[in-house]
Structure 1
Amino acid sequence: MSVKNSTTVADYIEWDKAVNLVHRLFNDGEYRMSLLIGCGIFFGLRISDVLQLTWEMLLSDKSFELIEKKTKKHREIRVNANFQKHVQKCYDALSITDMSERCFISRKNSVYSIQRINVLLKGIKAKYSLKSVKNFSSHSLRKTFGRHVYEKAETNGEMALVMLSELFNHSNIAITKRYLGLRKEEILHCYDLLDF
């Protein structure tokens, strides 16, 4: 758990490693954690919003709507067709009978807390040797989404930043760049420009 005003910042996971982690968790019978990490990296939602998701929302035709807990803003989420197949596999593996059930409930049938999710993610980091991710938390999933969208937009990174800024409800793209760690990378690149 991070302390307010601390310098610890969640790191993103490289996309291929994140998707691989989703598959490995599923293969190990960790269906809910596989789905949680998948939802985090495919939707870019805050963990408080991921924890609201129901099976009905995820298995709807192509998209679902929610009201973000933090901002109270309405948001429509499109479910990637390939990811929806994974959702269905998790649904079947868990033998869900109530489509209105929240997706992320504990064995005691209570919705996970954000703190509990972060504890579980720390355990996953250790168990699955995510050494390239120094600070792994629920926020890492949202950052992974953002970094992947930005990197996929190779030729039009500015447009990707505009879209991400809107998705993340940031007031400008400078905040989005800092959030994704891009500003720090740009500043550090200055050192590479020097000749010796």
Structure 2
Amino acid sequence: MKAVEPIRDPKKIDAMKKYLKGKNIRDYALFVVGINIALRISDLLNLTWKDVLQDNKFKTVSIKEGKTQKTRNIKLNKSAQKALEELLNSLEAPDINDYIFKSREGDNKPITRQQALNILKEVAEAVGVEENVGTHTLRKTWGYHAWKNGFNPALIMETLNHSNLNVTKRYLGIRQDEINNLYDNLNI
């Protein structure tokens, strides 16, 4: 099985947002929130409105991660809040107990992991993303861009709940990017 990659090109990310926003606001919100809060897909899909809202205002999300069983507190940034607000405003009669990324099938079920993958594969193909994309791409994209924007690698490692920095570097494909950059920029 080929490993999935982060979406490295900010222009491709913007193209994916635009495509999804024009097609389905729920899928757009899934993508935007996913690349902005670095949760594993299973944890992301299980979010309900009560996890993110209190008294009609966005709150810090406190979640016990399924894989690690560690509690994470996530402050929703402006991009995630805006996408969630647009989704919320598009809903007819939202209930605080509803899943945010609600399936059209069943009373109150989130979309499946497979459906999330289908959404990501479709949009990636539509806008010409060449990297191998999967649901973990959302989390990897967050980490990659945190690193590229100069955030402390130890902080990124801790946020992703990795055991050491080498795991984080390998996870994000950082070493190969650094090597490619060296070859591109060292001209003797």
TM bucket normalised to smaller: 0.7 to 0.9
- What's the TM-score once normalised by structure 2's chain length? 0.85
Asked whether 1:17 is paired with 2:9, we answer no
Q: How many residues align?
A: 181
Q: Which runs of 5+ in 1 are unaligned?
A: 1-5
Flag the 1:96–1:36 CA change in 2: closer, same or farther, 3 A: farther
Which residue of the other structure, out of 161, 165, 190, is the alignment partner of 2:157?
165
Q: Which amino acid aligns with 1:52?
A: N
Task: Work out whether residues 62 and 71 of structure 2, in 8 Å CA contact, stay in contact via their aligned partners in 1.
Answer: yes
User: How far off is 1:124 after superposition?
Assistant: 2.1
User: How far off is 1:134 after superposition?
Assistant: 2.3
Q: Which amino acid aligns with 2:80?
A: F
Q: Which runs of 5+ in 2 are unaligned?
A: none
Q: Which amino acid aligns with 1:115?
A: Q
Partner of 1:133: 130
Report SS of the residue matched to 1:75: strand
Report SS of the residue matched to 1:72: coil
Which residue of the other structure, out of 177, 193, 196, is the alignment partner of 2:169?
177
Q: Aligned-residue CA RMSD in angstroms?
A: 2.1
Task: Work out whether residues 11 and 133 of structure 1, in 8 Å CA contact, stay in contact via their aligned partners in 2.
Answer: no
Using the alignment, how far apart are the partners of 1:9 and 1:164 within structure 2? 20
Matches within 5 A, 1:18-167: 18-28=13-23, 30-60=24-54, 61-109=58-106, 110-126=109-125, 128-129=126-127, 131-153=128-150, 159=152, 161-167=153-159
Flag the 1:24–1:56 CA change in 2: closer, same or farther, 3 A: farther
Q: Which amino acid aligns with 1:59?
A: L
Using the alignment, how far apart are the partners of 1:52 and 1:93 within structure 2? 20
Q: Which amino acid aligns with 1:18?
A: I
- What's the TM-score once normalised by structure 1's chain length? 0.82
Larger RCO of the pair (alpha carbons < 8 Å, separation 6+): 2
Flag the 1:190–1:15 CA change in 2: closer, same or farther, 3 A: closer
Flag the 1:189–1:19 CA change in 2: closer, same or farther, 3 A: closer
